Chain A
């Protein structure tokens, strides 16, 4: 299971970075999304994949009765998902605006900021 996860994470990172390095703005966003998902899966994997009960203590007892899954990585992933959700939606709006104003989809043609002014 871990090997499979590791391969998937590697593929997601590689694909994400490959897409970011493309010249198209849309592919940039796709790359960002893939990279974010790769990072989330990495946290999940490195929190150890365990077969256990959910980390919720039953009402009548004070401590965990059996082996339980580590809740921290899940909390981290949830936070990271929320943040990347916000960033990605911002990126989509930004790219749309940029496309409308600059009238190109090609990152190489976005060089107004490098011009001498």
Chain B
């Protein structure tokens, strides 16, 4: 049974989604199933994580079709770490949506689709087959389309049109890249591709394919010239949806980039240079974009773009230290970004507005909550010893080692600009005297809610803040984890051996 272990998180999410569909109109049952299921999922994932930590990379050949002919599922440290983070973020958002989503939206199948989205995320992280990755991507974007349009407000639909078009385009470019890759090598298994792509003589075509992958995943990860759909759409849906989008969806693009450029297209100086340039421009444009926004959700959207730059930069430098920095940043970023969008939802519920100009006086009204919100906000900036600080050390060291001083400048610039943005946000929302906000009629204000609903708003934020604090104060453990992931990624032979040896002598 242990061999199948890596599929259990995936199967559990599918089961939850199916189960929730049977309770389509019974909202309370859905809330309970979703929260309990997410807790179970978290427990299961922790168990699988510790199993892989102790026993190394695990693979599974679905349907007993041996690699490279069948679909292989591979759980190396990177995959399982991301699955674990998905489970943590998923639990928090599940609790948050149970109390923050209005019943009208829940009646249209919010929870089943939410778990379908998590299923897609788990699948994308675990699969070892490039076409299967495409299928999981489609599952993710179809669920996210439904989630982003749920409710059908004007801004939501407009955002959804932009989100849909660009993501569809990204999928088509990804599909084109797969087609060319299949034409070149005749294989779809990622480990097999890693071997065969290295042997292809037509390097120009390989490079073009790599660039197609870069564009396809780049749109999804929202890197520099391809990010415009993100700030146009992420602030439109309810905060619970924004939270899962902001925390995890762009990170799937980053994961795919890391996977493809550390396994299949390795050691191409041109591509690495290109990644670094893109990363620098992303850091710059995201930061500047965040500076001029007024809506707090839009500020966070631009900060997502800005911080994607850090991860791409680490990938571009491609040394062990740099990759470790990237992975550490990924871990930190998923937790913090999910948390921040929930925070923005909480602020909106309390004050009835997301505009920084109108907001104010939050600290004098809710001092304890403000201190709680302080944790994710300043983790994002990376005030030591909070979690955002540590990966930057690795990234800065790596950029010294590889002598990419532009990258170094961009890291420091982006950290500085994040600090300015967050400080501005803190001053405007928490310290300034409140502006004029019209009391909204028929609005579901936070202070009018019952005790349990309030708890549902605050508990996930507390939970993720604690995780953030752990990442900050237990940085040593996370560093060990990310170094191990980096080691596995730098040596792609480990991955290839795991896929093929297991196929030859199954236990």
Contacts and interface: CB of A to CB of B under 8 A. Distances in A.
Nearest to A99: B157
Nearest to A88: B168
B158 A32 contact: no
Interface in A64-96: 72-73, 76, 79-80, 83, 86-87, 90-91, 94-95
Contacts of B138: 83, 87
Contacts of A45: 183
A30 B172 CA distance: 14
Contact of A117 (B131, B172, B354): B354
A46 B180 contact: yes
A39 B131 CA distance: 13
B417 interface: no
Residues of B in contact with A, size category: 35 or more
Interface residues of A, number: 37
B109 interface: no
Contacts of B401: none
B176 interface: yes
A16 B146 CA distance: 24
Contact residues of B: prevailing secondary structure = helix
Interface in A24-81: 25, 28, 32, 35-36, 39, 42-43, 45-48, 72-73, 76, 79-80
- Between B162, B182, B235, the greatest number of chain A beta carbons within 10 A of the residue's beta carbon is seen for B182
Contacts of B294: 116-117
B135 A116 contact: no
A86 B182 contact: no
Interface string B143-164: 0011001001111011111101
B28 interface: no
A90 B145 contact: yes
Contact of A72 (B145, B162, B182): B182
Contacts of A90: 142, 145-146, 164
Nearest to A73: B182
Given A35-B172, A98-B157, A113 B236 contact: yes
Nearest to B69: A72
Contacts of B157: 94, 97-98, 101-102
B455 interface: no
A37 B467 CA distance: 46
A35 B138 CA distance: 16
Interface in B169-195: 169, 171-172, 175-176, 178-180, 182-183, 188
Contact residues of A: prevailing secondary structure = helix
Nearest to B181: A46
Contacts of B285: none
A72 B188 contact: yes
Given A39-B172, A87-B142, A116-B294, A98 B158 contact: yes
Interface string B227-246: 00000110110000000000
A79 B182 contact: no
A49 to B, nearest CB: 11
A8 interface: no
A83 B160 contact: no
B99 interface: no
Contacts of A94: 145, 149, 157, 160-161, 164
Contact of B182 (A28, A35, A47, A113): A47
A32 B232 contact: no
Interface in A3-30: 20, 25, 28
Given A83-B135, A97-B149, A43 B154 contact: no
A47 B159 CA distance: 37
Contacts of B354: 117
A103 B220 CA distance: 29
Contacts of A79: 131, 135
A52 to B, nearest CB: 15
B295 A117 contact: yes
A116 B298 CA distance: 10
Contact of B233 (A47, A86, A91, A113): A113
A87 B131 contact: no
Given A35-B172, A43-B182, A87-B168, A117 B355 contact: yes
Given A101-B154, A113-B158, 11 more contacts: A28-B165, A35-B168, A35-B169, A76-B131, A79-B131, A83-B142, A91-B168, A94-B145, A102-B158, A110-B162, A113-B232
Q: 8 closest pairs, A vs B, by CB?
A: A46-B183, A98-B157, A43-B179, A110-B158, A42-B179, A39-B175, A113-B232, A83-B138
